[in-house]
């Protein structure tokens, strides 16, 4: 897995402080950023977070580049709706000898790993065979319709991989660019940094949290699973590791 913070709102915490300043003072737009040094910015942010007033943090956003993750993770990630996603298309990009993600629990058991790798190999062969069969059919049809050779080949390949992709597994590797505002990120961290989240998206969430803490440390000082700042919301399904999680997210990461 490779995760990079590609871009973010300049001076993110100062922008949030300006929004808070506008809410709680008689300041006008002109000069709203004046006087917002590090100390005052931190004071505004701490006040906001203690009050649970989260709307001002929607004014800043973060854009991540993510690769080396599975389509299974993608299905979970896109449930977080207030975000923008651009994902490598299996409709327009031929996978061929596709990369795949191996779950650690499978990798650690020789027999399971052998079975898994065979399944991936079989999928590669099935995908390529289907793509070839469909390509020949579509290519012949398009030539018969009078399309020139180059255009026929390009169009036939697109139509072929459009259907051949149905045999690809959830383990198939994908790449994406994701943009989220800070409030959506907070919600994402609450759910996906949790010990009960699926291992791959939990790993991704923790890496993303480390990156945003570097540029907005005050804002994300208490970000992470919900249990680090209150009771575990999982009830009887709790992991039972609240003290350990608070130690990690509030001290180790902070």
Query: Which helix (H) or strand (E) is 117 found in, with range?
Result: helix 110-144
**Contacts for 47-53: CB closer than 8 Å, 24+ residues apart:** 47/20, 48/16, 48/20, 49/219, 49/222, 53/20, 53/23
CB 231 within 8 A of CB 25: no
192 is an active site residue: yes
- CA dist., res. 117 & res. 128, Å (int): 17
- C-alpha 239, offset from chain centre: 23
- Residue 4: φ, ψ to 5°: -130, 145
For 199, other C-beta atoms within 10 Å of its C-beta total 12
Q: Is 38 helix (H, G, I), strand (E, B) or coil?
A: helix
Choosing from 47, 79, 165, 192, the catalytic residue is 192
**Are 149 and 127 a contacting pair, CB within 8 Å?**
no
* Residues 3 and 208 sit within 8 Å (Cβ to Cβ): yes
Q: Phi and psi (nearest 5°) for 70?
A: -90, 165
Contacts of 34 (CB under 8 A, 6+ apart): none
Catalytic residue annotation: 192
């Amino acid at each position: 897995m490779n995760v990079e913070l590609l871009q973010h709102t300049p001076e993110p915490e100062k922008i949030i402080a300006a929004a808070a300043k506008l809410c709680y003072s008689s300041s006008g737009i002109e000069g709203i950023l004046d006087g917002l040094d590090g100390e005052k910015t931190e004071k505004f942010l701490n006040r906001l977070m203690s009050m649970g007033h989260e709307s001002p943090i929607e004014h800043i956003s973060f854009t991540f580049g993510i690769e080396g993750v599975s389509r299974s993770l993608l299905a979970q990630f896109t449930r977080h709706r207030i975000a923008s996603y651009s994902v490598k298309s299996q409709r327009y990009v031929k996978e061929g000898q596709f990369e795949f993600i191996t779950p650690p629990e499978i990798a650690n058991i020789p027999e399971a790993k052998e079975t898994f790798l065979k399944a991936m190999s079989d999928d590669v062969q099935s995908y390529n065979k289907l793509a070839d069969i469909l390509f020949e059919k579509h290519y012949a049809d398009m030539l018969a319709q009078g399309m020139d050779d180059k255009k026929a080949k390009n169009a036939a390949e697109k139509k072929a991989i459009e259907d051949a992709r149905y045999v690809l597994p959830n383990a198939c590797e994908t790449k994406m660019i994701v943009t989220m505002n800070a409030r959506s990120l907070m919600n994402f961290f609450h759910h996906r940094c949790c010990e009960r989240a699926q291992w791959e998206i939990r790993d991704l969430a923790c890496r993303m949290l480390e990156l945003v803490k570097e540029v907005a440390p005050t804002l994300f000082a208490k970000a992470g699973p919900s249990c680090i700042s209150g009771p575990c919301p999982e009830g009887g399904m709790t992991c039972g590791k609240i003290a350990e999680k608070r130690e990690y997210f509030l001290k180790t990461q902070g």
